[in-house]
Amino acid sequence: MKSTTHRGNRHGRSEEARQAVLEAADDLLAERGFAGVTIEGIAARAGVAKQTIYRWWPSKVDVLLEAFTEDMAEHLTPQDTGDLGTDIRAHLATLAEFLTTSDPGAVFRALTGQAQHDPQLAARLRDDHLSHQRDRDRLPLQRAIERGELPAGLDVETALDHLVGPIYYRVLVTGAPVPRTFTDDLAAAFLHRHQHQ
Amino acid sequence: MKSTTHRGNRHGRSEEARQAVLEAADDLLAERGFAGVTIEGIAARAGVAKQTIYRWWPSKVDVLLEAFTEDMAEHLTPQDTGDLGTDIRAHLATLAEFLTTSDPGAVFRALTGQAQHDPQLAARLRDDHLSHQRDRDRLPLQRAIERGELPAGLDVETALDHLVGPIYYRVLVTGAPVPRTFTDDLAAAFLHRHQHQ
Amino acid sequence: MKSTTHRGNRHGRSEEARQAVLEAADDLLAERGFAGVTIEGIAARAGVAKQTIYRWWPSKVDVLLEAFTEDMAEHLTPQDTGDLGTDIRAHLATLAEFLTTSDPGAVFRALTGQAQHDPQLAARLRDDHLSHQRDRDRLPLQRAIERGELPAGLDVETALDHLVGPIYYRVLVTGAPVPRTFTDDLAAAFLHRHQHQ
Amino acid sequence: MKSTTHRGNRHGRSEEARQAVLEAADDLLAERGFAGVTIEGIAARAGVAKQTIYRWWPSKVDVLLEAFTEDMAEHLTPQDTGDLGTDIRAHLATLAEFLTTSDPGAVFRALTGQAQHDPQLAARLRDDHLSHQRDRDRLPLQRAIERGELPAGLDVETALDHLVGPIYYRVLVTGAPVPRTFTDDLAAAFLHRHQHQ
DNA sequence: TGTTAAACGAGACGGTACGTCGAGTCTTGGA
DNA sequence: TCCAAGACTCGACGTACCGTCTCGTTTAACA
């Protein structure tokens, strides 16, 4: 029945199988949508036994979560040009691009959708992923505060919600496009309100 | 309350069955979450045959949509005090309350979640429900423009996104609470940028 | 005068599906042995859903039991020549032939084998099938008693065990062939001990 | 100067593991029936790795066979009182007792059941085990022949089938009890037919 | 007396089949 | 014509074992 190389044993799992599963899940999501991602489908496409998936992931969303984890950070770490306006305009545009057009952005939308039905997933999504993204989102503002471009007493959390909230809203609710003009305008509103001078 | 016209059926559609189905779906969503809502479960609880559900609704989300429709408008129609600040502060607070605590708010979150997996549902949700809500959201701004409180050239759509986007973001993504201070601050940011003097 | 509400199966089960299942099970047993008979295999070969099998039969042995039922009686009803020796010699030879060479004989051996692992199956096999065969086995002796060829006080059950037991023993345990000489000798031993004169 | 050839195993197999496996298999059969005997279950209960079982036994029936081997001979070796009637009455009663009530009797029934599905097992069961039992069963008759109690030309094999067949038949097929009266009657029938005077 | 090769426990792996759930379709008989 | 009932095919679920394949860890015969 099989003659492939076995990598897993008591001292560790098969990295080969792990990667195959994550890629298969990603591919299926892209090709057939969330409902098209099934454990059986992942197993078949990855050339892996169902039990191997169940051994390491409690459910299909956990597979997607793990597949997602590896992609997010690299895409969405803001640059540091030394100018607040430049930094946040660039970062918001990158965020919009990520959410609307990238493959991991699609995974994010699917997971966020599923999180509406599943509070445990919602919590894990926030704790393991979104909080780190918030940390990255915060960087330009913190650097501007250190440079004196923004007041030290700024409520950074609320400011972040104002900056990125409308982008997520368009992506998740209205489905409207999120062009550069929209993200630039968000940045402008923020700067108009908070920036010294 | 029927939305379809009756033909000359001998008996017509059973209003009794229709109501039983809608209530069963609502109850199941509240008790067991979205995954606990199944056609078989609705049928069993409503004392109705599966075929009767399939005859009138294409899928379980359509049942929820119909159950949802009747609740939204009454909750979220903004008042008109003649003062822009008062109106939008009140409306944003009401919206936050609706989304976070009400039963139809829970249905909204579930449907929006499912819409991330299902573009057709997303489109129907927008066309049949969210667009009407956007119309209501727009009213305070339009009245202020007519009164001269806001400039005639204001980009109302973008302004609305800035106003309500952060609320939806907290509800759907971060799960953070949406207190009155948050909604008032949103209103303040908007007024600071756009209001004449 | 109609009865009041009738709640039950309005449609009845599919005779077509039933026959297909029974035939598929029989074929699989013949082709691949007992271990080759699986619910999935039956379903696939019969062109039937697994659920349909589970709806009507608790397990694969029940399918085989039902398939078996229809075959046994016709093969093993003893003749009545009016002479005890002739009757039992013929009947024992027929029984040996049935058990060792016929298709339903193979099903019998498989079911009897499985019954060693499953007391419930053993009970059902006895109650639904073997008891009827015992009734048929008993006929020649009873007729001989009525004719006066055998004493009225004969312990028929024990006599039957002596007559057929060695045949089953060879079939199920030693695997030795059961030639006509063997069955004739069984009959001779019986007649030598019990027959008048 | 020793030969430099070194063959094989320096360590030898673990008798401890072997015993643990055999006992675990026996226990599982007694507690949960044949279907409850699995390689994984044996390994877990014996505190042994699956591979250790596969190294020494081709299948679970081989484990049971080996467990069975050690028990049969001691239970079923007939005594020698010098009187045929006494010997076979005692032996048949002991055989019935063994088959119906003892633990190794249960193993025998399970293996015989499985042998109906597996011709290779059937052959091994006969060659390795049943033939030796037949040898023991034959002893009382052979001694009687030597003593002149039975005719020298007696067909011993057929006589044995007549003697023990009905006992196995009750055990494996009808499930009827096998009381002392039944075994004594079997002995009586045999003696009536064959014994000199 | 240290080397070394087997047997060992542990357990991950690709698989098959299990028995269950729900989806969506179809047919019947009663109202 | 609508409806309750429910049998049907289909696909996926999550579980239990199968038999194979490494891993390090004993351990006893040999060097």
The answer to whether residue A90 scores a pLDDT higher than 90 is: yes
- Residue A165: name the closest of B65, B106, B96, B153 by CA: B96
Check if C169 contacts D (Cβ < 8 Å): yes
Q: Examine chains C and B and say if they touch (3+ CB pairs below 8 A).
A: no
Cβ within 8 Å of B, A 15-74:
33-35
Q: Are residues A52 and A74 in the same domain?
A: no
CATH number at residue B133: 1.10.357.10
Q: Are residues A53 and A68 in the same domain?
A: no
CA gap C172, C99 in Å, rounded: 9
Residue C27's pLDDT band (cuts 50, 70, 90): very high
Q: Are residues C93 and C166 in the same domain?
A: yes
- Residue D76: name the closest of D141, D122, D129 by CA: D129
Q: Are residues D93 and D182 in the same domain?
A: yes
pLDDT tens per residue across span C138-183: 999 999 999 999 999 999 999 999 999 999 999 999 999 999 999 9
Cα-Cα-Cα-Cα torsion D147, D151, D155, D161, nearest 10 degrees, comes to -60
CA B148-B154-B156 angle, 5° bins: 110
> What pLDDT shows up at residue C10?
57
CA C64-C70-C74 angle, 5° bins: 135
- How far does C41 lie from chain D, in Å, by closest CA? 17
Q: Do residues B108 and B167 make contact, with C-beta atoms less than 8 angstroms apart?
A: no
- How far does D21 lie from chain C, in Å, by closest CA? 21
> What pLDDT shows up at residue A6?
46
pLDDT tens per residue across span B45-97: 999 999 999 999 988 899 998 888 767 767 788 889 999 999 999 999 999 99
Q: Where are the alpha helices (DSSP H) in D148-195?
A: 156-169, 180-194
| Residue B1 covered by a domain | no
Both structure tokens of C101: 């060479």
CA of residue D76 to C1' of nucleotide E7, angstroms: 36
Q: Count Cβ atoms below 10 Å from residue D24 Cβ, excluding itself.
A: 22
Check if A184 contacts B (Cβ < 8 Å): no
CA of residue B177 to C1' of nucleotide F21, angstroms: 53
> What pLDDT shows up at residue B78?
87
Task: Specify burial of residue C26 (Cβ count, 10 A radius: 0-12, 13-18, 19+).
Answer: buried
Task: Among B109, B117, B193, select the one facing A35 at the smallest CB separation.
Answer: B117
Q: Give the position of tokens 């019935």.
A: D96
Tallying the residues shown for chain A, one arrives at 197
- Contacts of residue D112, defined as CB under 8 A and 6 or more positions apart, other chains included, come to C113, C116, C172, C173, D125, D172
| CB-proximal positions of chain F, under 7 Å | 1-24, 26-31
Q: In chain D, which residue's Cα lies nearest the Cα of C182?
A: D158
Number of domains observed in the structure of chain C = 2
pLDDT averaged over every residue in chain C? 90
Neighbours of chain D (3+ CB pairs under 8 A): C
Between chains, do C116 and D113 touch, taking CB under 8 Å as contact? yes
> What pLDDT shows up at residue A128?
86
CA gap B106, B28 in Å, rounded: 12
Q: Do residues C164 and D169 make contact, with C-beta atoms less than 8 angstroms apart?
A: yes
Over the Cα atoms of chain A, what is R_g? 20
Biggest CA–CA distance in chain D, Å, is: 73
> What pLDDT shows up at residue D117?
93
Instruction: Give the type of residue at C134.
Output: R
Both structure tokens of B21: 């189905």
Both structure tokens of C15: 């005779």
| Residue A9 covered by a domain | no
The answer to whether residue C101 scores a pLDDT higher than 50 is: yes
Q: Are residues B87 and B165 in the same domain?
A: yes
| Residue C4 covered by a domain | no
Q: Are residues D25 and D120 in the same domain?
A: no
CA gap D187, D197 in Å, rounded: 15
| Residue C156 covered by a domain | yes
Residues paired with residue A9 on neighbouring β-strands, in sequence order: A12
pLDDT tens per residue across span A39-62: 999 999 999 999 999 999 999 999
Between chains, do D172 and C112 touch, taking CB under 8 Å as contact? yes
CA gap C98, C125 in Å, rounded: 17
What helix, strand, coil percent values describe chain B, rounded to 5?
A: 75, 0, 25
| Residue B127 covered by a domain | yes
* Spans in chain B with pLDDT lower than 70: 1-13, 70, 73, 196-197
CATH number at residue A30: 1.10.10.60
- Residue B142: name the closest of B128, B132, B152, B133 by CA: B152
Q: Are residues D33 and D94 in the same domain?
A: no
CA gap A48, A7 in Å, rounded: 12
Q: Count Cβ atoms below 10 Å from residue C94 Cβ, excluding itself.
A: 16
> What pLDDT shows up at residue C20?
95
> What pLDDT shows up at residue D2?
31
Say which DSSP state A111 is in.
Answer: H
| Residue B139 covered by a domain | yes
- Contacts of residue D31, defined as CB under 8 A and 6 or more positions apart, other chains included, come to none
Buried/exposed A41-71: b ≥16 CB within 10 Å, e otherwise: bbbebbebeeebbeebbeebbebbbbbbeeb
Q: Are residues B47 and B73 in the same domain?
A: no
> What pLDDT shows up at residue A7?
57
Tallying the residues shown for chain D, one arrives at 197
Residue A2's pLDDT band (cuts 50, 70, 90): very low
Between chains, do B168 and A170 touch, taking CB under 8 Å as contact? no
pLDDT in tens, chain D (197 residues): 333 222 235 557 888 899 999 999 999 999 999 999 999 999 999 999 999 999 999 999 999 999 887 777 777 888 999 999 999 999 999 999 999 999 889 999 999 999 999 998 999 999 988 999 999 999 999 999 999 999 999 999 999 999 999 999 999 999 999 999 999 999 999 999 998 55
Q: Where are the alpha helices (DSSP H) in B57-102?
A: 60-75, 84-101
Check if C184 contacts D (Cβ < 8 Å): no
> What pLDDT shows up at residue D19?
92
Task: Among B117, B168, B189, select the one facing A113 at the smallest CB separation.
Answer: B117
Q: Are residues C73 and C52 in the same domain?
A: no
CA A187-A192-A194 angle, 5° bins: 95
Q: Are residues B71 and B48 in the same domain?
A: no
Domain that holds residue B21: 15-57
CA gap C164, C92 in Å, rounded: 7
Q: Are residues D21 and D94 in the same domain?
A: no
Q: In chain C, which residue's Cα lies nearest the Cα of D131?
A: C174
Cβ within 8 Å of D, C 67-126:
109-110, 112-118, 122-123, 126
Q: Are residues B100 and B190 in the same domain?
A: yes
CA of residue B65 to C1' of nucleotide F28, angstroms: 76
Q: Count Cβ atoms below 10 Å from residue B187 Cβ, excluding itself.
A: 20
Check if A166 contacts B (Cβ < 8 Å): yes
Share of chain A above pLDDT 70, in %: 93
| Residue B9 covered by a domain | no
Residue C21's pLDDT band (cuts 50, 70, 90): very high
| Residue D190 covered by a domain | yes
- Contacts of residue D50, defined as CB under 8 A and 6 or more positions apart, other chains included, come to D39, D40, D43
**Cα torsion angle, A33, A39, A40, A44, sign:** positive
Mean pLDDT throughout C12-24?
91
Tallying the residues shown for chain C, one arrives at 197
Say which DSSP state D176 is in.
Answer: -
